[in-house]
A and B are shown apart, each in its own frame.
Chain A
Amino acid sequence: MNTAKPKAIAHDWFSKTLAGTLLGFTLSIGCAGLFNALAGDMPLGVRGQLAMWLTAPVWKGALSGVYFFRDGKRAWAWLGGANLLVFGLLAALRLG
Chain B
Amino acid sequence: MRSEFIRIYKSVHTWTGIVAGMALFIAFYAGAITLFKEPLARWATPPSATHGTAVPLDQAPNLIAQTLRDHPAAAKDFRLHLKAAEHLPSGLAWQVLEAGADDHDHSSARHFVATLDTGGVARVEAAHPSRLAEFIDTLHRVVGLPVDTDPNRWIMGIIAALYAVALVSGVIVLLPSLVKDLFALRVGRNLKRMWLDAHNVVGIVSLPFHVVMALTAVVFAYHDGFYFIQDKLIHDGKWATAFSSGGAPAKAPPRDPAAMRPPAELLASAQDFSPSFQATSLQYLNVTGPRAAVRVWGHDPTAHSPRFVGGFVAIDPYSGKIMNVDFLPGRQSLPNAIVSSFFALHFGTFGGTPVQWMYFLLGLAGAWLFYSGNLLWVETRRIKAARDDDGSHYPPAQRRDARWMAAATVGICLGAVCGISLTIVAAKWLHGRVDDLNAWHQVLYYAVFFGALAWAFGIGAARAAIHLLRLAAVFTFAIPLTSLLAWLLPSLGMWTHGSAATLGVDATALAGGLGFVWLARATTRRAMQGSTDSVWSIRREKS
Contact = CB atoms under 8 A, between A and B. Distances in A.
B234 A9 contact: no
Interface in A5-21: 6, 8-9, 11
B165 interface: yes
A75 interface: no
Interface stretch (B1-9, B73-81, B357-365, B404-412): B1-9
B218 interface: yes
Given A49-B339, A67-B12, A8 B4 contact: yes
Contact of B219 (A33, A43, A47, A53): A53
Given A29-B229, A48-B239, A49-B339, A56 B165 contact: no
B358 to A, nearest CB: 23
Contact of B165 (A42, A51, A60, A90): A60
Contacts of A49: 339
B271 interface: no
B242 interface: yes
Contacts of B165: 60, 63-64
Contacts, number: 91
B499 interface: no
B218 A46 contact: no
Among A9, A36, A56, A59, the one with the most B-chain Cβ atoms within 10 Å of its Cβ is A56
Contacts of B242: 43-45, 48
Interface of B: 2, 4-5, 8-9, 11-12, 161, 164-165, 167-169, 214-216, 218-219, 222-223, 226-227, 229-230, 233-235, 238-239, 241-243, 326, 333, 335-336, 338-339, 342
A42 B335 contact: yes
Given A44-B242, A65-B168, A11 B8 contact: yes
Given A32-B234, A45-B242, 16 more contacts: A9-B5, A9-B8, A29-B229, A32-B230, A48-B242, A50-B338, A52-B219, A55-B219, A55-B230, A56-B164, A56-B215, A56-B216, A60-B215, A64-B168, A67-B5, A67-B8
Specify the main secondary structure of chain A where it touches its partner: helix
A56 B219 contact: yes
Contacts of A55: 219, 226, 230
Nearest to A37: B234
Nearest to B234: A33
Given A33-B233, A45-B242, A67-B9, A52 B335 contact: no
B335 A44 contact: no
Contacts of B214: 60
Nearest to B342: A53
A53 B229 CA distance: 13
Contacts of A11: 8, 11
A53 B234 contact: no
Interface of A: 6, 8-9, 11, 29, 32-33, 36-37, 42-53, 55-57, 59-61, 63-65, 67-68, 90
A50 B2 contact: no
Among B169, B214, B234, B241, the one with the most A-chain Cβ atoms within 10 Å of its Cβ is B234
Contact of A50 (B9, B241, B339): B339
A52 to B, nearest CB: 5
20 contacts: A8-B4, A9-B5, A29-B230, A32-B234, A33-B234, A36-B230, A44-B235, A44-B242, A45-B242, A48-B242, A52-B226, A52-B230, A55-B226, A56-B216, A56-B222, A60-B218, A63-B161, A63-B164, A64-B167, A67-B8
B234 A29 contact: yes
A45 B12 CA distance: 38
**Interface pairs A-B: 4 shortest CB-CB:** A64-B168, A60-B164, A45-B242, A33-B234
Contacts of B168: 60-61, 64-65
Contacts of A44: 235, 238-239, 241-242
B249 to A, nearest CB: 22
Contacts of A64: 164-165, 167-169
Contacts of B326: 45-46
Contacts of B234: 29, 32-33, 36-37, 51, 90
A57 B164 CA distance: 9
Contacts of A33: 230, 233-234
A38 to B, nearest CB: 12
Contacts of B164: 56, 60, 63-64
A59 B158 CA distance: 13
A21 B230 CA distance: 17
A59 B243 CA distance: 27
A67 to B, nearest CB: 5
A32 B230 CA distance: 8
Contacts of A65: 168
A92 to B, nearest CB: 15
Given A45-B242, A52-B226, A36 B218 contact: no
A48 B167 CA distance: 27
A20 B432 CA distance: 54
Contacts of A59: 218
Nearest to A34: B234
Contacts of A50: 335, 338-339
Contacts of B338: 50
A44 B231 CA distance: 11
Contacts of A67: 5, 8-9, 12, 169
Contacts of B238: 44
A20 to B, nearest CB: 9
B97 to A, nearest CB: 25
